[in-house]
Structure formats: structure tokens, C-alpha cells
Amino acid sequence: MSKNEERHSVSKMSSSLKENLLDRMRNTHQSSEKNRMARFERDVPPPVRRKQTKFEDLPEYKQVVTQKAASDQLGIANPFYRAHQTAAGATTVIDGRKLINFASYDYLGLNRHPHVLSQAHDTINSFGISASASRLVAGERPVHAELEERIAAFYGVEASVCFVSGYLTNVAAISCLMGPKDLVVHDEFIHNSALAGIKLSGATRRLFKHNDASDLEHVLRTVAGDYRHILVIVEGIYSMDGDIANLPAIMKLKAEYGFWLMVDEAHSLGILGRRGRGTFEHFGIDPREVDIWMGTLSKTTSSCGGYIAGSAALAAVLKASAGGFVYSVGLAPVLTASAIASLDILENEPERAAALKRNGALFLKLAQEAGLDTGLSGGFSVVPVLVGDSLRAVQLSNDLHAAGVNALPIIHPAVPEGLARLRFFITSEHTEEQIRQTVTLTAEKLKDLTERNFGLASIDIQQMMKMLSSR
Ligand SMILES: Cc1ncc(COP(=O)(O)O)c(C=O)c1O
């Protein structure tokens, strides 16, 4: 056999061997697939089509329908979702009527400030509207880094990271940092976004009595279990009640027990402290001693989004692993630039924070003099007027609306039934006259409802339910 013939027969042999091998593999695969299917048919019961619930049958939907039918029956208009026909500030326009407005977060009156508007316009001209994708995946715009540096400098900490909403900031940060082996202890009045973050994290959750440092200590002392990390969450100014967290007492516990401390500054940024720096300035605390500063960009900075500020390592962890950052679009450049412009004004015009404090204190004083129940409010950005049940709160809001004041009710389940309220957001732009007029009208309208015994107590709920279900 020549060398060539030898090579040819070997390659022929190897290709037939290959075919053979492949055939055997195919057969083995087919027979194991057949066996698998046979086992499946023998062991797995046939499909049962579940009865799929219609959304109309959900108890949550039935509750919405019943509430609407009940308010229609009682002739109570829905105070929610009314459309503003202008940018809402100390005044607004709804249904063509100019109203004094206490229902917007624009605490320092920056939403229409020329500096904010011109920065917003310039940014739209250069970058359009959207960040178009996640910053991690598709890159960012210069304003993103600029805003994060500004926020870090504002708190005197190493770094910050911004998210597309304040709500998402709490959800993303808490669920990223905490896990099933951890413990979160929070004030009982903490915002829903923090609760959502804790739930998502899978951490054990304990609450302490509102603004009660000794109860927090009791919880810290009695928690059983060996947790990996402990996080305590409070709000600078509480969103529903308007009082300030007892931060010095909590810092003392932090030094004693050792935990991460997170402070939500949604309603205190630009408000507390001589220069509006927030809770740390109010108490003269070194901001670096708080592990996690959280805030929203939708309130004082009249934009949208939220931030976490703290150590460089904290920001790095969130940027690398927080789902709400990694898998969500970057903050729109125009909103980022607007927040930067608002910070410029906040820093350069401390008189705005001073005006807000004057207005808050005046509102609180007048309301208390008029016999209104302002609960725990310290008279800053948020002053609630507690009125009892949800129905009465809704009607009071409607009566004020008719009289020329826009202030919205907070009703069950956002607050416990019986603690329904109107919540007044105070801004630096409100005039003394607007505040006086609003307090007087609120006291008058509430007195009228009380004299008419208007509220849930005056209604035969059983009777009404019967009537509604027989429709
Ligand atoms: C205390 C607190 N945290 C977080 C948020 C969520 O912020 P945003 O409305 O900007 O999403 C709010 C909203 O009102 C709030 O009151």
C-alpha cells in the first residue's frame, strides 16, 4: 500500500467510525428522551385549568367601587386627581379658579425660578429629554456626576448616587444593602417606600414607637438572633406628622449598640438648619456620623428622583448592585440639571429656608390659637390638621376647595382611621395673608362639620352597605 492509499483508508475508517459514534449517541439520546416522556406521562397529573380571578372580582377593586358609590350616594366629590392648569406653587389654578395652594412640595418656590428654567432649557437643547438607558450599560451625561458630587459636598461626605425616583431610592438601597440574615428597625411612621425596600430585602423587620428613642433601645436590647447587619431608619421631618426625628438620642444609641443609621431627608432638605442643610445642621451633628443620608429631588429641589449620600464604598456598592440603579434608566438629564440649579439657589439664598421656617411657625401658631389639632407638628414644611375620620377629612378638603384653598386629605389606610387629616405643605412663597386666610377658613369649615356632626359616625354604615349592594 502506498503512503497515499494508507492515508485515504485511515481517513475513510475514521469518518465511518465518526458516523457510527454519532448514530449511537443519537439513539441513546432518543431513547432517553422517550423514557423521560414516558416517566412524565406516568407521574405528572394532567393539567387542571385554574379558574382565573377577574380583576373586577378582587376585594381591592370592590373596595374602590364601594367607596366611590358611597361618596356618590352622600354627594361627596372626589378631591383626588384634580388637574392643575398651571405650575402649582403658593397658588394654583384648578377648573379655571385661582386657589391658595398648600398641596405641593415646592418648599422653596423653585419650580419656576428663572435659574432652574434656564438650566433645564439648556440641558434639553444639548441632551434631549431622556437618559435613554441605564447609566451602567449605556454611559451617563456630565450632569450625573456633577449632581452626585454636589450632593456629596452638600453633606460633606465622600460620595452620592442618584436614582430616578425618591420611592425607588429607598426600595433599591435598602433591598441592596440588607438581606435575610439582617435586621431592620424603623420608626413606626416610616414612609411606605422604606417598608417596600425592607420587604424586598427579606430582612427581619422590627418597629419602634414613633420618635421614641427609649423604645428603640428596648427593641435593640431584646431582639433575639445573631444578625449580620442592623439598620435603623428614621425620617428627618416625618411626612405625615411634621415632627423632627430625635437624632441626638438615636446617635447616642448608635454609639452604644452599633448599627447603620439611615435618615430620610425628603421633607427636611432645604428646610431645617440655618442654611437649610437639613437635620444634621438643625442638631449640629457631624453628617459623616450618619451612615446613609437619603433624600428626594422632587420636593425642595423641584425636580424628580432621589439620592443616597455617604461613604465612597456605599455609593460603589449601590452603583454596582442596586437593581433600581443597574437595571433602570438614568435620571433624565433635564431633571438632573434642574436639581443642580435648585441646589445652587438653596446654597446661595439661605433667606428662602428662613422664610419657610417663619411661615411654618406662623401657620402652626395660628392653627393652635384657632383650636385646630396640629398633632406633633414642629411647624416646618408639614403641618397636619387632624380631623378624625376619613369622610370628614375629605369633606373638609372639598369645603376648603370651594372656599378657594387647595389642601388635600390623608385618609385611611395611609393613616389609621380616626387620625385622618388635612396636610398643609408650607412653602417660603406663602404670604402671611394666605396663611391667615387659610387657617381661618379651615377652623370655620371644620366647626361647621362638627356642628353638623358630619363624619362616619353620623352614617349608618350597615344600612348604606345594604343599600349599595342591592343596587
Ligand atoms: C419620607 C419620604 N420618603 C420618600 C418619598 C418618595 O419620594 P418621591 O415622591 O420623590 O418618589 C416620600 C414621598 O413623599 C416621602 O415622604
- Span 290-339, pLDDT tens digits: 999 999 999 999 999 999 999 999 999 999 999 999 999 999 999 999 99
Mean of pLDDT values over 8-22? 61
Of 348, 371, 404, which residue constitutes the final position of a domain?
A: 348
Say if 14 falls within a structural domain: no
Q: Is the CB of 166 under 6 A from ligand 1?
A: yes
The reply to whether 341 and 355 lie within a common domain is: no
Q: Is the CB of 264 under 6 A from ligand 1?
A: yes
Q: Which of ligand 1's atoms lies nearest the C-alpha of 299?
A: 10
d(CA 279, CA 301): 16
For a mutational test of ligand 1's pocket, the pick from 106, 163, 269, 298, i.e. the residue with the most ligand atoms closer than 8 A to its C-beta, is: 298
pLDDT single digits (tens) 66-122: 888 888 888 899 999 999 999 999 999 999 999 999 999 999 999 999 999 999 999
d(CA 252, CA 246): 10
Phi, psi of 121 (to 5 degrees): -60, -45
Q: What's the pLDDT at 469?
A: 57
pLDDT single digits (tens) 212-249: 999 999 999 998 778 999 999 999 999 999 999 999 99
d(CA 355, CA 337): 25
Say if 242 falls within a structural domain: yes
The reply to whether 207 and 326 lie within a common domain is: yes
Say if 414 falls within a structural domain: yes
Q: How far is the CA of 31 from the centre of ligand 1 (A)?
A: 60
Q: Which of ligand 1's atoms lies nearest the C-alpha of 190?
A: 1
Q: Is the CB of 265 under 6 A from ligand 1?
A: no
Q: How far is the CA of 296 from the centre of ligand 1 (A)?
A: 6
pLDDT single digits (tens) 422-469: 999 999 999 999 999 999 999 999 999 999 888 766 666 556 556 555
Buried b (16+ CB within 10 A) or exposed e, 43-65: eeeeeeeeeeeeeeeeeeeeeee
Q: What's the pLDDT at 10?
A: 47
Q: Is the pLDDT of residue 357 over 70?
A: yes
Say if 400 falls within a structural domain: yes
Q: What's the pLDDT at 13?
A: 54
For a mutational test of ligand 1's pocket, the pick from 191, 265, 297, 307, i.e. the residue with the most ligand atoms closer than 8 A to its C-beta, is: 191
State the CB neighbour count (10 A cutoff) for residue 291. Answer: 18
For a mutational test of ligand 1's pocket, the pick from 167, 189, 265, 335, i.e. the residue with the most ligand atoms closer than 8 A to its C-beta, is: 167
Say if 402 falls within a structural domain: yes
pLDDT single digits (tens) 260-288: 999 999 999 999 999 999 999 999 999 99
Q: Is the CB of 235 under 6 A from ligand 1?
A: yes
The reply to whether 219 and 306 lie within a common domain is: yes
The reply to whether 291 and 261 lie within a common domain is: yes
- Which position has the higher pLDDT, 94 or 18? 94
d(CA 253, CA 244): 17
pLDDT-based confidence at residue 49 (cuts at 50, 70, 90): confident
Do 273 and 285 contact (CB within 8 A), yes or no?
A: no
Q: Which of ligand 1's atoms lies nearest the C-alpha of 193?
A: 4
Q: Is the CB of 187 under 6 A from ligand 1?
A: no
The domain of 212 spans 114-348
Of 348, 364, 396, which residue constitutes the final position of a domain?
A: 348
Q: How far is the CA of 235 from the centre of ligand 1 (A)?
A: 10
Quote the number of domains for the chain: 2
pLDDT single digits (tens) 134-171: 999 999 999 999 999 999 999 999 999 999 999 999 99
The reply to whether 221 and 87 lie within a common domain is: no
Q: What's the pLDDT at 195?
A: 98
Q: What's the pLDDT at 16?
A: 63
- Which position has the higher pLDDT, 28 or 37? 37
Q: Is the pLDDT of residue 132 over 60?
A: yes
Q: What's the pLDDT at 21?
A: 66
254: left (phi over 0), alpha (psi -120 to 50) or beta: alpha
Phi, psi of 421 (to 5 degrees): -155, 165
Of 312, 328, 348, which residue constitutes the final position of a domain?
A: 348
Q: How long, in residues, is the chain?
A: 471
Q: Is the CB of 241 under 6 A from ligand 1?
A: no
Q: Is the CB of 423 under 6 A from ligand 1?
A: no
Q: What's the pLDDT at 445?
A: 97
pLDDT single digits (tens) 381-423: 999 999 998 899 999 999 999 999 999 999 988 888 899 999 9
The reply to whether 342 and 371 lie within a common domain is: no
Q: Is the CB of 193 under 6 A from ligand 1?
A: yes
Q: How far is the CA of 421 from the centre of ligand 1 (A)?
A: 18
For a mutational test of ligand 1's pocket, the pick from 239, 263, 271, i.e. the residue with the most ligand atoms closer than 8 A to its C-beta, is: 239
* Atom 11 in ligand 1: residue holding the nearest Cα: 166
